[in-house]
Structure 1
């Protein structure tokens, strides 16, 4: 997927009315502001209306936008806050034409706004930092984008009590995770943003922007039914506003759904509509994104020449080609286009360039940085809860101390109150036991939090292991596999040029290269099976069982009710557990017949494996590496495992996992 700048992140207007996106009815917006300027005598109100008009004119006429900004500054001379905000509007004015000047203006606005502590000032500061974060994202620095959103924008928005800004930034974080292809992490952020927008009855433009990106993320997650529902939800929201630029991403998501359904002509039509609808300061970026998707539809429809022309035009865009992932898509598309046109030499050259670029990209480091930032944010939230709990305990201890003083006072006042003192003493003792119990509960809660953090660390280690497997598999398949494929192409081109007596030997060499490619793909598939990511767990397990069967080993695989909605990381862990179990039965137990049964009941996933191997002493092999790996993964999935084995009579393993 090409990296893109979110409409949500860049449509933030530092508007004094806290409007974070332009309304869908632009003409009405312009007319209402113009009437305010004509009818009011207040310089403050006129300045605010002129600032708002800057956002109307920027995508239409920058000269008029500049005039509105200058007029607003003239009217703001007596109002320090309005003058400070003028630099935020200047940053927006230069955003598309001079990004460095834009960032400098936003920095000036931030330094001036720090002197104000009103709700309106916090809103303006939050929007300034939103735009500075968008500039970082535009410079291909997603780590800085996430850092600014979590540590600058959201705290300021919470101070301002502005749920709309918080929602927009949840959507922005979701977009950042999409940029590094962590679509499962993006999904909850989009869902939270949409829920907030719906609960506060936000402007339709805000909700539509979040729904559009959520729909695209569903496509990338291969949740096409959810994506189609999102398209259907957006359509009536946009219907009253036929000129809205938000149609661009709406048609893009619609085209992606058609692309999945192999309706390539309809997909191309939707992409063309999206390109026509794209405008505003983000129009160029959206058009580039849609054109890259359109190329996929053209290639799938075997329209190689139009695809080639689009890719050559995109390759001439210096800003687009600065992004490594965009260059990779363009290079791979050109290789496929030339291959489809039968021009194998340029196809091979573009393939070599794309493979070299693929090897040089280090996306895993960026992903880890972003994950670290998110974990840091989550840990900070947990620390707040611990501090709150500690304060409650300190308050309880203070209450106990006061009770003790009262008891001493009553006891020393008079012997006549002896009975009262005795009751007070009993109360004190009872209260002391309660405090001890509370302290024990507190310690237990701290231990549980620590255990949870350790579990999260272990899960992160497993995820890192799987990501490294996936990277190595991709490198083997795309890197070395591509090179071998290139060797085969070159050798095949030489066959006809050689004498007939030499062709036989060369064909043998080509056969050996073919065998090498097959073996390489088998190794890459074993490290990270592609069908697990494409077709789901059940299909991957079926393929695994069939790949391990030989004349000497029969595997009976049975699956019941396995849901495709199991989270991807959970599917990978289940696949690894079963892969290890089958390997143990074949390599160590010398089994000739294996029965593997997998079933799902709600959030419970059950695995049963029976073999007729030589069995083993479960106590003696309890610490084996294979069994330890299985137990670790079962533990991370909050499951249980039971092994029954009899020497020379076979082994039965029953596993119950939490798959929710």
Structure 2
């Protein structure tokens, strides 16, 4: 959702680019006057614009003008801009089958892609924009391909596929070199800088941001100024990451000043928000709070709920740092409420999407699977034998190792006195960590190496994509398991860094794990740190494996002598009472309570929230 208005901007720009020539085809002076009046009404967000468009359509049909479908298009575009997406698509469904003009078809298809994007149906949006690209590529229409590729890149970014995002930005850049229209050059180059920043290639991000700023532009062009603002923002982020905060703030100021004339635009609010984040990282919490408050006010004016939700979180953290605890609590509670409402809305959309898709996809999926089975039958036999052996050995190794580990722990427990709980905990953890190290080594050197060989064999067979992906996933999971089992020396490592690293390692494009904290390190007893980390690790892994969540949020907060960790997902939830009876969850709770920690779990169809509290002294 964070790219929502970037998407909308370029989709609507795309619609204008694709359709502006059609206005020249409106030859009747009376109809032309009505369309111009309606367009002006729409741009100024006035009432009753629909009636003016409809009046133009009725007159066009009465006079049997050939461009009536274009008039339907501008009405659909107006409805899309006005938030009436479903009504716009009704016009699409009625008119699209009748259209013969190729460019008008593209204009309608672009609206359809816009609709899918706003409904969070990203795969369908991408498919629609790729269909448009095929037509434009055949026409060698580079001017429109620039915008089309830009749109496609933005869609990939919204689903966290930053590699594809950058790939299509470069496609747009290549099209730009073949075009005489350089209108979007600054915005495109700045977007490439942002793409490299998303991939954590900070030097390339800096290079492209500096290139964007150096491009000669028309200083009156709003699109150019927005592009320059983004480029300055990327440079600010680069220097902030290198702790060169004076340079970072200087570039943040330039980013804001470049578009300061935009009084009611999300771009200026975004620039203020990013400037506030740099102040926060500099530990100038008062300045961060002031800039964040300005950004929040603008986001509220624009009614951008996702941006409001995000800003409330960081404003609450800044207020906490400045000692404004009452204000901090107010902002954080509103953040939680908006986030819960957003999850509920997303779940409703998901249910509706799945219901609509099920019948259409069921038969197609069955046919595709049968054809794939026939095509790869011989290949699968050998590969599945190798993969099954690898997975079987993996399962035996993991479960056998943990069974042995559990048996060892039980024997130790029986030899210790009940009153020596502290010593018991330390001994158990030491044995567990040694066992984890042994298992990690065997997983990495044995099974993982075998699966690499299987993967290489499959890669030589171009018809084995599905199986190749299976083995790649298996290999990645083994590496993750090995990584997770490795012991951590909390005398040298800090719990904040370790939890963040674990979240980053487990995060994927399809299931991102967002880590946030108000501190960079916490002084915690090493044994307590180990228990806390293993408990956090367990809940995150459970969410990954069982929740079907689209996103997992982990928030680690330190307030005076209390450390809290909140783990939330937007998945399917689970039966809490039934799970509490299982050894797995009850063991986690018991283990955490032994170090005087408190744990609260809330799970429903909207997702699961785990709240951990531990005193640091």
TM-score (norm 2): 0.51
Preserved contact between residue 19 and residue 104 of structure 2 (Cα < 8 Å): no
User: 2:123: which partner in 1?
Assistant: 146
Preserved contact between residue 320 and residue 328 of structure 2 (Cα < 8 Å): yes
Quote the Cα distance in structure 2 between the aligned partners of 1:103 and 1:243.
Answer: 33
1:312 to 1:104, Cα distance in 2 relative to 1, 3 A: same
Quote the Cα distance in structure 2 between the aligned partners of 1:452 and 1:278.
Answer: 49
User: 2:443: which partner in 1?
Assistant: none
Quote the Cα distance in structure 2 between the aligned partners of 1:117 and 1:257.
Answer: 47
User: 1:227: which partner in 2?
Assistant: 205
Preserved contact between residue 15 and residue 110 of structure 2 (Cα < 8 Å): yes
User: 2:406: which partner in 1?
Assistant: none
2:502 to 448, 473, 479: 473
Give, in angstroms, the shift of residue 523 of structure 1: 8.7
Preserved contact between residue 11 and residue 151 of structure 2 (Cα < 8 Å): yes
User: 1:305: which partner in 2?
Assistant: 286
Matched, 1:449 2:462: yes
1:148 to 1:315, Cα distance in 2 relative to 1, 3 A: same
Preserved contact between residue 218 and residue 224 of structure 2 (Cα < 8 Å): no
Quote the Cα distance in structure 1 between the aligned partners of 2:232 and 2:217.
Answer: 15
Quote the Cα distance in structure 2 between the aligned partners of 1:51 and 1:236.
Answer: 40
User: 2:546: which partner in 1?
Assistant: none
Preserved contact between residue 314 and residue 320 of structure 1 (Cα < 8 Å): no
Quote the Cα distance in structure 2 between the aligned partners of 1:264 and 1:292.
Answer: 14
1:104 to 60, 79, 87: 87
Preserved contact between residue 218 and residue 227 of structure 1 (Cα < 8 Å): yes
User: 1:516: which partner in 2?
Assistant: 528
Give, in angstroms, the shift of residue 59 of structure 1: 4.5
1:460 to 1:265, Cα distance in 2 relative to 1, 3 A: same
Matched, 1:337 2:314: no
Quote the Cα distance in structure 1 between the aligned partners of 2:20 and 2:88.
Answer: 19
Quote the Cα distance in structure 2 between the aligned partners of 1:46 and 1:228.
Answer: 53
1:267 to 241, 245, 251: 251
Preserved contact between residue 18 and residue 123 of structure 1 (Cα < 8 Å): no
Preserved contact between residue 335 and residue 348 of structure 1 (Cα < 8 Å): yes
Preserved contact between residue 315 and residue 330 of structure 1 (Cα < 8 Å): yes
User: 2:74: which partner in 1?
Assistant: 89
1:221 to 1:128, Cα distance in 2 relative to 1, 3 A: same
Quote the Cα distance in structure 1 between the aligned partners of 2:122 and 2:2.
Answer: 17
Post-superposition CA distance 1:484-527 (Å, at most 9, x none): 999x9xxxxxxxxxxxxxxxxxxxxxx76686347645997999
2:106 to 116, 120, 123: 123
Give, in angstroms, the shift of residue 298 of structure 1: 2.9
Quote the Cα distance in structure 1 between the aligned partners of 2:72 and 2:318.
Answer: 47
Preserved contact between residue 328 and residue 358 of structure 1 (Cα < 8 Å): yes
Mapping of residues 363-402 of structure 1, within 5 Å: none
2:236 to 238, 258, 266: 258
1:155 to 117, 131, 154: 131
Quote the Cα distance in structure 2 between the aligned partners of 1:480 and 1:126.
Answer: 38
Quote the Cα distance in structure 2 between the aligned partners of 1:90 and 1:318.
Answer: 28
Give, in angstroms, the shift of residue 296 of structure 1: 0.9
Quote the Cα distance in structure 2 between the aligned partners of 1:451 and 1:319.
Answer: 53
Quote the Cα distance in structure 2 between the aligned partners of 1:303 and 1:484.
Answer: 14
1:124 to 1:2, Cα distance in 2 relative to 1, 3 A: closer
Quote the Cα distance in structure 2 between the aligned partners of 1:314 and 1:271.
Answer: 14
User: How large is the Cα RMSD of the aligned pairs?
Assistant: 5.6
Partner SS, residue 99 of structure 1: coil
Preserved contact between residue 19 and residue 107 of structure 2 (Cα < 8 Å): no
1:103 to 1:234, Cα distance in 2 relative to 1, 3 A: farther
Quote the Cα distance in structure 2 between the aligned partners of 1:108 and 1:207.
Answer: 34
User: 2:182: which partner in 1?
Assistant: 204
User: 2:5: which partner in 1?
Assistant: 5
Q: Which has the higher contact order (CA 8 A, sep 6+)?
A: 1
1:47 to 1:241, Cα distance in 2 relative to 1, 3 A: farther
Quote the Cα distance in structure 1 between the aligned partners of 2:468 and 2:334.
Answer: 42
1:190 to 1:344, Cα distance in 2 relative to 1, 3 A: same
1:361 to 1:83, Cα distance in 2 relative to 1, 3 A: closer
Q: Which runs of 5+ in 2 are unaligned?
A: 240-244, 376-456, 485-498, 508-512, 541-617
Quote the Cα distance in structure 2 between the aligned partners of 1:340 and 1:292.
Answer: 17
1:92 to 1:445, Cα distance in 2 relative to 1, 3 A: same
Preserved contact between residue 355 and residue 482 of structure 1 (Cα < 8 Å): no
User: 1:239: which partner in 2?
Assistant: 217
Pairs aligned (count): 407
